[in-house]
Chain A
Amino acid sequence: MKNRVVITGMGVVAPNGVGIPQFTEALKNGTSGISFHPQLKELNFSCQIGGIPNITEELRSRYFTELQLRGFNSSGILYGCIAGIDAWKDAGFDMHPESELDYDSGLVFGTGTSGVDKFREAIYQLDDGNVRRLGSTVVLQTMGSGVSAYLGGMLGLGNQVTTNSSACTTGTEAVLMGYDRIAGGKAKRMLVGSCSDHGPYVWGGFDAMRVMTYKHNDEPEKGSRPMSATASGFVPGSGAGALVLESLESAMERGATIYAEVLGGEVNSGGQRQGGTLTAPNPEAVQRCIRHALANAKLSPDEVDAINGHLTATSKDALEIENWTKGLGRSGEDFPFINSTKSLIGHCLAAAGAIECVASIVQIKEQFIAPNINCEDLHDDIKAMIAAAKVPTKSMNHQVDVVAKASFGFGDVNACVLFKRFKP
């Protein structure tokens, strides 16, 4: 018998809102977090716009000690720790250096690459023959599991503490890894999420691939256009999202606020076969992932009220919609509402899945569907498969019981998770 798993805490650091209240408002109002970054222009980027969360010095010092901030230059770890600590506190726990070690709580906090700016600093020093002057924190800030190492110590977690990495699938995969651990009885609580650094050294490789848009440098907020006829590539973002997953039993015992239930899901890979490549998904595997996620969650496709898609604003959006119609066996007027949080925050890469899972839960908690901004001109190929009204361009109040959230990543990897409004 599997334990039921519920969500009792949330935290988010997104380009359009830091903290759940601000992020919720931004989702409801369709506020964009995309802006022009002169540094990208100076470095000759094609795409000179992006999403960077607004973190003040004052905010930073509420989460980190002065010592921790000495020589600190890892934006992903910064975002991850803020989101993680917020989620932990939201769930009713505190952060205290002397808190008792908790063997029943662990964390899975993913990232793509860590501390890229710190690594750059180190490389300059190394190449000057100054390895002896790197200081003590280069390893901690640049190791993949850096964010988990920082968070695990700040919160005193004693169960599994690890970092997963599966490109743009990372955050959604982390949720399912935490879910499995609690459902299987190996932990009572898992802090799950993911983070991504901002800046040219993370985004440059994508610019070189010509997968980011170069057409909206003078109108940044219109740049991220998932599902639109004029989508011309994604806009890079950054940040972090975090959820506290908890066994229903533990949540009830503590009298914790329950935001939603995680019904389960599926992760798989298309093996870079049947049309799948390092950078493109195998459609059959995506559809299988969706179908198996539903089966694992013991849901029928018609119970899905809304989809939070991967939908990055590249030419693959129509293929994703096709995969949803086939995976769910629903199309036209019968298709669920669908949105892409990326229209507001860009593609936050390794952080995308976690931030968008938070967005999914917020929509369940507040009973609304967030708008797809910049999608007034829905792509013809998408119109041919689903009713245009299912891609709302304005925020709408609506009963939302079940949300399907999927993420797809380089390496042909897929994850789909199902969240449901909590009913005892």
Chain B
Amino acid sequence: MKKEELIAKLKPIIEPYVQDAEAFKNLSEDTDFVNDLKINSANLVDIILDIEDEFDIRLENEDMEQMLDVKSAMSIVTTKISK
């Protein structure tokens, strides 16, 4: 999957949890979920469940710990779907 395509799929998953709409508009690979988008850290597990459903993959605790920004989310999802 192309990077742009992947970001386009991740954006609507992330959007409901975003508390900083401005930062979301400028979302890039470097965007951090908590620091930039001001997502409540408790909601990170909800984002992970939504990603699992969208891509039909299973994310382990170790994956979750790393998934703090768009870049790491993309890399983990890419690895999982290529398996």
Contact = CB atoms under 8 A, between A and B. Distances in A.
B42 interface: yes
A136 B16 contact: no
A70 B43 CA distance: 11
**Interface of B: prevailing SS:** helix
B49 A70 contact: no
Contacts, number: 16
Nearest to A139: B42
A209 interface: no
Q: Which of A70, A71, A136 has the most CB of B within 10 A?
A: A136
B17 A67 contact: yes
Contacts of A70: 16, 46
Q: Which of A67, A70, A133 has the most CB of B within 10 A?
A: A67
B45 A135 contact: yes
A135 B46 contact: yes
Interface residues of A, number: 7
B13 to A, nearest CB: 12
A67 B45 contact: no
Nearest to B18: A67
A153 to B, nearest CB: 11
Nearest to B43: A136
A66 interface: yes
B16 A135 contact: no
A135 B52 CA distance: 12
Contacts of A135: 45-46, 49
B49 A133 contact: yes
A135 B49 CA distance: 7
B53 to A, nearest CB: 9
A136 B43 CA distance: 6
Contacts of A66: 16
Contacts of B42: 136
A74 B45 CA distance: 20
B32 to A, nearest CB: 19
Interface string A218-239: 0000000000000000000000
Nearest to B41: A136
Interface string A122-137: 0000000000010110
Contacts of A136: 42-43, 45-46
Nearest to B19: A67
Contacts of B43: 67, 136
Q: Which 5 A-B pairs have the closest CB atoms?
A: A136-B42, A136-B45, A136-B46, A135-B46, A67-B16
Interface of B: 16-17, 42-43, 45-46, 49, 52
16 contacts: A66-B16, A67-B16, A67-B17, A67-B43, A70-B16, A70-B46, A71-B46, A133-B49, A133-B52, A135-B45, A135-B46, A135-B49, A136-B42, A136-B43, A136-B45, A136-B46
